Amino acid sequence: MLAPVFRILGVRLPPKASIEVLTPDTTELRPLERRVDSVLRVEPSDRDGFLLAIEAQGRRDPDKASSWTYYLAYLHAKYGVPALLLVVCQDRGTARWAAGPFTIGVDHWTSLTTRPLVLGPDNVPVITDPAEASRNLAMAAFSAMTHGRDQQAPAILEALAEALGSADPDSLSYYAELLEIGLGDTPARKTWRNLMVGSFFPGRGTLVEETYLKGKADGEAEGKAESVLRLLAGRGVPVPEVMAQRISGCTDSDTLDRWFDRAITAVHAEELFADEAPASAE
């Protein structure tokens, strides 16, 4: 049945092939988490807007071709506007691979093509001047992410942290979380956390600085637990009563420090206890 049709279309059908009828329903019934690192809506003043999905990629991953195609198709269907994908890479090899194009089709006939925009060490400048970072926070953040394995990474992060000291709270929160994700499993991520917690805009009275220093000054688990709760409340993260009790009842200083680090960027209170034993084991 299909061979003549495929000949008309110019697509080769193997001479021997089995045909199976599958369900035409493409509805996803079971929960399946698919999460891109960040999505921005861009609204130019002189033309129609578009979406920009940002994904940090530390290595080649053959599964990403289908995931990235799905992200773009889903965002376009949900919001009804064009979508672009920006992939941020920390090494040249991954950047070359991420540029694609990634195609879906049979033989020479391509049904879908995904062509990501790519930032990497070769096309993003090294920014170590706080003044320059202040003028363009986005470029400074991408500089930190793409050069996260470079020996200049600490200087880049310090410049960005200083620049964020005069930024509005929303920008501060966004870039802090973007770097937390984008630096991946690198020493630079630990450096960034230390900057955020240990010396985060000293003297500027920021929420993170204030809550951390209060817990440190108290020198007791009770003070640290209060700092965790105050930070979550200040960032507008709801804390169910059972979780608040777990935080307040914890007496282990290292655990409370870990929860505080996670509270800086957590979207949900449950993220504080990721990969940890139940409360009874504390």
Beta strands 102-106; 109-114: pairing state: antiparallel
pLDDT single digits (tens) 16-70: 777 777 666 555 545 445 678 888 888 877 778 899 999 989 889 988 888 899 9
Point out the domain boundary residue: 169, 197, 225: 197
Residue 7 included in any domain: no
pLDDT of residue 200: 42
Write the burial class of residue 196 (CB in 10 Å: 0-12 exposed, 13-18 middle, 19+ buried): buried
Do 50 and 102 share a structural domain? yes
Better-predicted residue by pLDDT, 80 or 204: 80
Write the burial class of residue 269 (CB in 10 Å: 0-12 exposed, 13-18 middle, 19+ buried): buried
Q: Which range has the worst mean pLDDT, 23-27, 98-102, 157-161?
A: 23-27
- The first and second tokens of residue 41, run together, are 């809506």
- pLDDT value at 267 more than 80: yes
- pLDDT value at 142 more than 80: yes
- pLDDT value at 249 more than 70: yes
- pLDDT value at 202 more than 50: no
pLDDT of residue 209: 52
Do 211 and 181 share a structural domain? no
Which amino acid type is present at position 54? Answer: I
How far apart CA 266 and CA 263 sit, in angstroms, is 5
Residue 256 included in any domain: yes
For 211, phi then psi, to 5°, come to -70, -35
Q: Which domain holds residue 49?
A: 35-119
Residue 251 included in any domain: yes
How far apart CA 236 and CA 216 sit, in angstroms, is 22
pLDDT of residue 219: 54
Residue 70 included in any domain: yes
Do 220 and 191 share a structural domain? no
pLDDT of residue 281: 43
Residue 247 included in any domain: yes
Q: What is the pTM of this model?
A: 0.62
- The first and second tokens of residue 94, run together, are 């991954």
Mean pLDDT score of the chain? 81
Q: Is the separation of the CB atoms in 255 and 263 below 8 Å?
A: no
pLDDT single digits (tens) 69-87: 999 999 999 999 999 999 9
Do 114 and 95 share a structural domain? yes
- Tell me the CB-side half-sphere exposure of residue 199, using CA atoms within 13 A: 8
- The number of folded domains in the chain is 3
Better-predicted residue by pLDDT, 34 or 12: 12
Residue 167 included in any domain: yes
pLDDT of residue 212: 53
Do 215 and 165 share a structural domain? no
Do 99 and 69 share a structural domain? yes
Q: Is the separation of the CB atoms in 223 and 210 below 8 Å?
A: no
Residue 68 included in any domain: yes
**pLDDT range class, residue 208, cuts 50, 70, 90:** low
Q: Which range has the worst mean pLDDT, 67-81, 111-125, 173-187, 237-251?
A: 173-187
pLDDT of residue 218: 52
pLDDT single digits (tens) 162-197: 888 888 877 887 888 888 888 888 888 888 877 775
- pLDDT value at 265 more than 70: yes
Do 218 and 193 share a structural domain? no
Do 271 and 213 share a structural domain? yes
Point out the domain boundary residue: 119, 141, 165: 119
Beta strands 102-106; 50-57: pairing state: unpaired
How far apart CA 280 and CA 246 sit, in angstroms, is 9
For the chain, what is the HEC assignment? Answer: CHHHHHHHHCCCCCCCCCCCCCCCCCCCCCCCCCCCCEEEEECCCCCCCEEEEEEEECCCCCCHHHHHHHHHHHHHHHHCCCEEEEEEECCHHHHHHHCCCEEEEECCEEEEEECCEEECCCCCCCCCCHHHHHHCHHHHHHHHHHCCCCCCHHHHHHHHHHHHCCCCHHHHHHHHHHHHHHCCCCHHHHHHHHHHHCCCCCCCCCHHHHHHHHHHHHCCHHHHHHHHHHHHHHCCCCCCHHHHHHHHHCCCHHHHHHHHHHHCCCCCHHHHHCCCCCHHHC
Point out the domain boundary residue: 163, 197, 231: 197
For 152, phi then psi, to 5°, come to -90, 5
Residue 202 included in any domain: no
